[in-house]
Amino acid sequence: MTDFFDESNTKDKLFWLPSLHVVQALKNDLDIRAGIAKTVRRPSLRDLSPTIVTEDGTIAEPDTAGNPNVVPETAWGLCDRAYLPLNVCQVNLSVLKFSKYQKGAMCSFFYLNQRNFWRVVWKQYQADINHPHVE
């Protein structure tokens, strides 16, 4: 990517995204399912471009600024599920446990600039995040 000052910034990264999914029938009507997968979320070209787009400067329509230093975030997701179809009005019973472990999460930060207008910019959240979830 080359900016208006003819300075270029090139990043070339290869991401392996493995996944594994298993289904085991315990009985004719009871399944246990498990899965693990690595995912990646990349910033858009607009989020990387080192330019400022001026809007109204309000919280509802803030100015936006690109950040060429933002890198893709990666996450590992783990899903466990027990599935039991009930023979009452075609109702199924399902218990799900989902966990997500993120590394280098991309976050949008709002701040007031020197003109007292709101601006949003993508930055890297430095701490790793663990999201357990049960349904």
| 72 compared with 135, residue with greater pLDDT | 72
Does 38 score more than 80 pLDDT? Answer: yes
Residue with tokens 């910033």, as numbered in its chain: 43
Which of these, 127, 120, 77, lies nearest to 97 by C-alpha position? 77
pLDDT tens digits for 59-88? 788 888 888 888 888 888 888 888 777 766
Please, what's the b/e burial string for 81-120 (b: 16 or more CB within 10 A of its CB; e: otherwise)? bebeeeeeeeeeeeeeeeeeebebbbeeeeeeeeeeebbe
pTM above threshold 0.95: no
- pLDDT for position 27: 83
